[in-house]
Amino acid sequence: MTFVLGIAGSPRRGGNTELLLDAALEGAREAGAEVRKVVLDDLSYSGCTSCEGCQDGQRCVLDDDLQQVYGLIERADAIVLASPMYFEGLSSQAKALIDRGQLFWRRKYTLGLEGKKRRGAVIAVGARRNADFASALRPAKIWLLTLDADMTSLTFGGFEEKGSILDDADALEEARSLGRGLVERNIH
């Protein structure tokens, strides 16, 4: 069974990011996947400390709550990272997770280890109607490449208030359809 991992990168619980992620995971579940949601704000972890403890590709030596997420990432056939746009980038919670992907970077690019092919998606939401998401999507794309994942992205501008995305049925349907597509689309 396809395992889809959803990662919620907003500290605002029940906000636009999480609502969109929930819709995507619902779509994936409808398509027959096992899904799991991780809310980064529930976890206590630091960014990468550049300690080089992962040089041998074995593990990240920082002993914090991200240890449980590494296992889920490794297991995942598809990963959906959802984040609000903060100062034209990802939330710091999402960016710190990405930086902790240095373990995967070492494995792939320094040690030349082949990972399993995955599907990847990024959902980003911002307040500005004409928001430019390029600088937010870029690190997420590099992270997904490191995880041997491709990337589909959905971006939504014009949503500032908590839950305002609920007024846009099309946006939620787009997210649901992205989730379904991650399960139905075979990239192997």
Ligand X SMILES: Cc1cc2nc3c(=O)[nH]c(=O)nc-3n(C[C@H](O)[C@H](O)[C@H](O)COP(=O)(O)O)c2cc1C
Binding residues for ligand X (CB under 6 A): 10, 12, 15-18, 84-88, 125-128, 131, 159-160, 162
Residue pair 78/4 in contact (Cβ under 8 Å)? The answer is: yes
25 or 31: CB nearest ligand X: 25
103 or 124: CB nearest ligand X: 124
> How crowded is the C-beta side of 173, counted as CA atoms within 13 Å?
4
> How crowded is the C-beta side of 136, counted as CA atoms within 13 Å?
28
70 or 86: CB nearest ligand X: 86
Least separation in angstroms between CB 80 and ligand X:
14
Closest-approach residue to ligand X (CB):
15
Q: Is 24 left (phi over 0), alpha (psi -120 to 50) or beta?
A: alpha
Least separation in angstroms between CB 171 and ligand X:
11
62 or 125: CB nearest ligand X: 125
Q: Residue 187: name the closest of 151, 155, 153, 154 by CA.
A: 151
